[in-house]
Structures are given as C-alpha cells and as structure tokens.
Structure 1
C-alpha cells in the first residue's frame, strides 16, 4: 500500500516537474520580452524618461490587478466543479464575459483619465497618451492570460508555449521597429505591446474559440465567480500597493533616475519568477484543485513545498554568486553596489513569497479566499510605514529590505489562516539544512562580492560544490537514485 502511495505521489511530482519545464519555456518567452526590453529601453531612453516609463507600467499593472476581477484565478475553482464538457465550456464563457467587462472599464479609464493619472504619477500631465496605450495593453494582456490559463487547464502546454513565443517575438520586433521610427518615444513600447497582444488573441480565437466557447450563460456561476474573484482582487491590489509604494516614495524623496534604477532591479529580480515560480504556479494551481480529494494529497503538498524551496535555493545561490554579471548584462545604464544588494534581497523575498501558492490551499478549497485580504491589507499598511522609514535612510536598498519584510509576512499570515481548513507537514529539518548550505553564498553576494571579487571560475566551482551539498543533504537516498536515473536517461537519450 505504501509503495502504491509513494508511486502515486511520484507520478504527480513528475507531472508538476514536466509541465513546469514546458511552462517554464513559455514563461521565459513571456517574461523574456520584459527582460530584453530592459537593455533596449535603458539604452534608448534617458534615465528620467525610463523612470516615467516605469511609473506608467506600475500604474497599468495596478489597474489590471483590479479590473481582471480575479476571474483568471476563479476559473479553475468553478471549472472542476462540473464533469460534463458542456458545463465546463459554459463556465468558461460566463467567466470570460465578466473578464471582458473589466477590460473595457480599464481601457476607458486610461483613455478618458490618462492625463490625470499621468499628473498623479509624475506631476506632469503630458504623458496621458502613453497611459492610455499602457492601460489598453495591460487589459488585453490579462484577457490573453485568461486564454493561457484555459490551455493549462486542458494540459495544452505546448500550445501555451507557442503562443508565448509569438507574443515575445512580436513585442520585441515591434518595439524595435517603432523606436526606430520614433526615437526616444515613450508611447512606442506600449503600442508594440497592444499590437502583439492583438496578434496572439486573434490566433488563439481562430484555433480554440469554437471549442472553448458555447452559447450558454451560467447565471448561478456569476455570483460564485465574483465572490471568489473579488477577494483575490483586493488581495492583488494589496500586493500591488506592496510592490509599488516603494517607487512612489522613491519618486517623492529621491529622483526619477532612482525610480528607474529600482524598477530595473525589480525586473531582473523577477528572473526567479520567470525560471521557476510562474511555471510552477501555472501547473500547480489546476493540479491542486483537480487532486484535492485524493487520499495522499497532504503528502504531495509536503514534497512539493520541499522541492520548490530546494530549486529556488539553487537559483538564489546562482544569483548571489553571479549578480554583477547578470545585472550588467541586462541594465545598460550602469550598475552599482546598492543595485546588486537590492537585487539579491528582492530575489530572496520573491522566493519566500512564492510559497504562498502552496500554503494558501485551505482557503481555496473551502472558498475562504476573502480571508487572505486581511493579510494583504495589513501587510500593505505595515509596508508603507517601513518604506517611509527605510528609503530616506538607505535609498533603494531600504526599499528592497521593506519588500523582503512584506514578502515574509504574507505567506506566514496566509498559512496561519489556511491551516485551519487544510494543513500538511513541513519538513523543517530539510529546510534548515538547505538554509545553512545557501547561507555563505548569499552573504558573499550581499556583503562581500564588491570587496572580494573572486574569479568567475572560482565562483563557478563554489556554485557546483553547493549543488553537490544540496544533492547529498536535501534529498533522501531514494530521491537521489531517482534523480540519477532521470539524468542518465536524459543524457543517453
């Protein structure tokens, strides 16, 4: 019986791993556009203009976090409540209508109030057109994310990756073209995003529109979707406040150039999202709903959390040892020690925050998502106070420290609420060992890398040794055997 149970968990872990790798390619394609735009835009725009661009992106991100109405997150919860394909298509159609309404409202808001928003952001109303294009682009972006989410539910991972690649190629190509025609234009990158989102949307509708939609509206699902998605909107808005308040305070207390530097660091720190957290979430969110009634679900959660943090620890060690090279490659306007420290602090915080996708399961299972709003709103309030204290004293490093503070509090608070409905064992011993192994490389990157800049080959050797120590101490004997078999199979194949 135990062997069967272990085999079942192993197969599910393989499902998480294999789809995460595929979705990782798609995530890298989606996010690579933002990362590749970073050297393009930091090279094409002045430091102040890039600061303005970053503030407008921040505003459009906050808007999309509100006007997507939580529907993309609510879809899997209602979708798997039905067994028949017709009912599931009806849920998809109903949810899409609600989502489209949110997109229209956001677009109109950017069009009619763009100048006002521009003045609020940078105390200059002349960027209203850029705001309008940014709001349109982000609204179309969350509609396409809804389609991507549907493809993940169907396990159409290859299709999801292909569409992401199309979006990536179109965004980069159109941005370069428009910047060539309009050098230094702030509107050009937003127009490129709109055009690329239109291209992807048309292709998805042609290929999957007939099978996804149905002329059936489930009225009984409207309240369920809205009540499930509404709290997620509040939580998302709280998270947006947590992520954006630093840039607002930096703009008021420092300079637009500092806003640009900090925004650039945030984008690079999002690499851990691109490489691991987003791909994992894309497969894990529907899986944890689909398998929630299985007998071994708690063991699966325990294993998934451990593997998630081990993989994240490896990425974090790589970031700590090679931070200067990574930042210099992606930021063309110059890198300093404050930016390196901020990059590592935010990367660590992002990894810790990523565990929320696992720890919040109880709230999703029992439709108690509204309770998460207590945590996000409380942490957002605390974050504002901490940022106001630290940023004037320590600049962008203080902003990064306040972000780490918030990113630790959120999963801790969420799990304190969620474990009342669903809990699982956390292997604290394994996580402690992982922390001890990663401690020295992280401290080196944060404190000593500028003063004691080791040769690249030395750091590469250090990274390899750390990998070996993690392999020996953070995996059981059976897991090590399984990893060796998998690697040997891949190499031979």
Structure 2
C-alpha cells in the first residue's frame, strides 16, 4: 500500500510540481518587473475568489466519493444529477462572485475592475464544473496519470504565459489574471472529451429534488470544513484589506505565504493519492488492521513532511536571495519560515478526515477545521493592529496545528480509535523544529550545512525504524 501511495503521489506530484518548480525558477525573471502593489492586488482578488470557490460545489464531492465506493454500478446516475444541479447553482454563484469582486477589488486596480471580473466569472460559469468532474473521476478511480498530464500541460502553459505577460509585456498583476484564464480554458479542453464522450457524464437537469435534498444533508455540513482551507490559507489578506493595511505590506506578506502555498500544493498530491486508498482500506479491511496500516503510512508521511519543511525553512533566507530579485520582497523570508512549517499538519489531519468522511460524520468536521479558520480570522483581527503582518504568520501556524491535531480529541473519532497515533509527540516535534530553525536561519553556511546533515540522518533513522517495525508485525 505504501509503495502504491508514494508512486501515485509521485505521479500526481511530479507532473504537477515540474511546472511549479519552473514557476519558482521563473521568479528571478518576473520579480524585477513586479512591486508589492502587484502582489497585494493579486493576493486580495485571489482571496475573494478562493473564499467563494469553497461554496461552488456545496461540498457534494463527499456524496460523489461515497456513491462511487458504495454503489460502483450506478454512481454515474448520481453524478449526472449532481452535475445538472451544479450548472443551475452556478447562475446564483457567479452573480454573487461578480458583486463581491466589484466591491472588493482594491482601489489600486479599479481601472481594471471589469476586466478582472470577466476573467474570473467566465471560467467559474462555463468551465469549472467540467474540470471538477474530470479531475475527481480520475482521482477516485486511482488513475493519477491523466490528472498528472493535465496538471503538467496547464501548469507549464500558465508559467510560460506569466513570463510573457509580466516580463515581456510589463502587465503587472494583470499578467497573472490573463494566464489563469487561459490556463482554465486549456484545462477544460483537456477534460471535455473524457467527461462527456468517454464517461457519458452529461448533466441531468431534470434531477430528483428529494434525492438532491438527501445529498445536501450530507454535503452541506462539510462546507465549513472546506471553507477552512480559505480561512487558513488566504483569509489573512482579506483581514489586512479590511483593516486597511497598505497594499504594499499585504504584498510583502503575500510573497512570504506563497512559499507555504507552494509546499501545500505539492503536498496535496499526497492527499490526492492517499484519500481514496484510505477509503478503500476502511471499506475492505477489519477495523484494527485498517488503522494499523494507516498509522504506518501516516508516520512515514509525517516524517517525510518534517524533514522536507525543516530543510527548506533552514535555507529560506538563501532561497529568497537566489529567487527573489527584489530587495524589498527579500525581507519576507522569516514569515515564510513560520508559514511553511505550519503545513506539516496534513498527514495527521488526513487520518481523522478520512475516517469521518467514510463514516459520513461530516457534521463533526466543522469542529476541527472551521473552528481553526474562524480562530485564525479572530486572532488576526486582534493581533495585526498591534503587531503588524508578522502576527498573521504566527496565527496561521497555530491555526494549522489546531487543524492537524484537534480531531484526535473528538468523541466520534475516539470511539472508533483502536490504535494510538501519538499526536502529542508529533505536535511537540513540529513546534520544536520551528523554534529551532527560526532562530538559526541567519547563521552561517557551514553551520547550516551541519544542521542539514543532522536532519537528514535523523530522517533516515526514523524511516528505517518504521520499516523494521513493519517487518516485525508482518512476521507475527
């Protein structure tokens, strides 16, 4: 199972991350042509679009996943009805999206307001539902290669367009919006044939309302959970906008948080690969054995995450100096360290999330992620006026840790828990690594090389011990 998970994650991740790596390598080309205002405008607009994007699918992916796992012979009939509902719902959704963008676009971009709105609303209405169904189908079928091809093609195209629009045409923040629009069109083009002609997932507009209501009773409670992604990842920019933080300062924070989001996007490949596997393990394996398998995979992933983020954070200052050819933007690297280390929460959170999804206990998810997201917003409202944008980085880390570990305290989770996942140990180790790395990030190169070797050796020892323990279990 572990080998299959890592191979699928590698396929998802490698193809998706090659363009992202190219995007990181393109930073020296585009950052000389960008300002903190460009990053600020892009950050605020992206935050509004992301916030509303959470409710576009109304959480019905939960229903789609369970229909596929539990009713493999008739899931398409369920999906087609949901597809029809998505299209009708998009009319309301896009009207709200256009209104919010009209009011929320910063004054620095007011002359481009309508163009930005069109570039965001058109894909949301005409393209996104097809992209969603195509990508979700391949992931639930554990067919990572088509998703990887789509990610690679669209990602490479978008990065190339970013360079063209920003570095060559000097379009600033509009370069990102043009590139995103064209990338969405390309993604739709890739998925339209398999969704409608191969899989015959044509929407049924005359769907059964009583069945839809039943589906919404399961899906709607998961919306606060999905909303937490926005509240944790990008709501900081909206809070700063509300608090009238200068757009230039928002841009500085945006460049720092982007490095955390780079890793978050990369780690999403692991989640894409692991989620359907976890669901199938719960469906086909005895409770104790399933939890034992999942714990071994989770420990391996957690170790991999900690080693990777620790090394990246340790060298974040040098990474910024290498990639960000802008003296003002380079000053954001300490914030990037804090935010990046927060994304170590994902493997432990996946343990709780996957079990609650399988048990259709979605009404419990808000107690984890939504509470963390709301807490993040409240803390930002209280602390940013006192301590500036630095406070947002620390509140993001705290909120991400709550997301990763609070689920182990839920009664509904503890009642079905047969195996100890040692969440307290993992949490303490993450906090200790953050504190240690944050205070030595400015040390000399030789010292940091030595620390890097120590981290790598510790990681290798941990993986060897995990595999050795696995062998003992298998031989008993």
Same fold (TM over 0.5): yes
Cα distance in 2 for residues equivalent to 1:382 and 1:471 = 36
Q: Distance in 2 between matches of 1:341 and 1:50?
A: 18
C-alpha displacement of 1:402: 0.6
2:354 pairs with 1:364 = no
Q: 1:376 to 1:99 in 2, by over 3 A?
A: same
Deviation string 1:60-118 (CA, Å, 9 cap, x unpaired) is: 1111112122233442122111132xx12223323333334444444343445542232
Change (3 A) 1:145 1:318: farther
Aligned counterpart for 2:296 among listed residues 303, 322, 328? 303
- 2:262 is aligned with 1:271: yes
Within 5 A, what are the aligned runs for 1:100-115? 100-111=87-98, 114-115=101-102
CA distance in 1, matches of 2:346, 2:324: 25
Q: Is the alpha carbon distance of 1:214 and 1:150 closer, same or farther for their aligned partners in structure 2, counting shifts above 3 Å?
A: closer
Query: 1:134 matched to which residue of 2?
Result: 120
User: Is the 8 Å Cα contact of residues 239 and 380 (structure 1) preserved in structure 2?
Assistant: yes
Distance in 2, matches of 1:238 and 1:274, equals 16
SS at match of 2:197: helix
Matched, 1:472 2:461: yes
SS of 2:234's equivalent in the other structure is helix
Distance 1:421 1:170, change over 3 A: farther
The residue aligned with 2:3 is 14
Which residue of the partner structure matches residue 43 of structure 2? Answer: 54
Q: Match for residue 474 of structure 2?
A: none
- Is residue 26–residue 163 contact of structure 2 (8 Å, CA) maintained in 1? no
What is the aligned partner in structure 2 of residue 197 from structure 1? 184
CA apart distance, 1:313 = 0.9
Determine which of 259, 272, 277 is the counterpart of 1:282.
272
Q: Which residue of 2 aligns with 1:262?
A: 253
Judge conservation of contact 1:42–1:332 (CA < 8 Å) in 2. Answer: yes
Distance 2:165 2:462 in 1: 52
1:209 to 181, 189, 196: 196
Take 1:59 and 1:77, find their aligned partners in 2: how far apart are those partners?
30
For the residue of structure 2 that corresponds to 1:291, the secondary structure is helix
Asked which structure has the greater RCO (Cα within 8 Å, sep 6+), the reply is: 2
Counterpart CA distance in 1 for 2:121 and 2:51 is: 10
Q: TM-score, normalised by structure 2?
A: 0.85
- Tell me which moved more, 327-336 or 20-29: 327-336
1:381-420 correspondence runs (5 A)? 381-417=374-410, 418-420=412-414
User: In structure 1, what is the Cα distance between the partners aligned to 2:330 and 2:201?
Assistant: 55
1:66 alignment partner, SS class: coil
Is 2:336 the partner of 1:343?
A: yes
User: Which residue does 1:164 correspond to in 2?
Assistant: 151
In 1, the alpha carbon distance for the partners of 2:174 and 2:137 equals 31
Asked if 2 retains the 8 angstrom alpha-carbon contact of 1:363 and 1:421, the reply is no
- The CA deviation string for residues 336-376 of structure 1, in whole angstroms up to 9 with x for no partner, is 78622221211221111453222223321221112222444
CA distance in 1, matches of 2:423, 2:403: 22
State the aligned residue count. 462
Matched, 1:146 2:146: no
Contact 2:40–2:248 (CA under 8 A) maintained in structure 1? yes
198-207 or 171-180: which moved more? 171-180
Question: Helix, strand or coil for the counterpart of 2:54?
Answer: helix
Which residue in the other structure is 1:9 paired with?
none
Paired with 1:195 and 1:273, the residues of 2 have a C-alpha distance of 23
In the alignment, structure 1 residue 241 sits paired with structure 2 residue 231:
yes
Q: State the alpha-carbon separation in 1 of the partners of residues 61 and 21 from structure 2.
A: 22
Gaps of 5+ in 2: 472-476
Hey, what's the Cα distance between the residues in 2 that align with 1:212 and 1:66? 25
Q: Which moved more, 1:344-353 or 1:168-177?
A: 168-177
Aligned to 1:325: 318
Residue 183 of structure 1: SS of its match in structure 2?
coil
CA root-mean-square deviation:
3.3
Show structure 1 runs of 5+ residues with no match: 1-11, 483-493
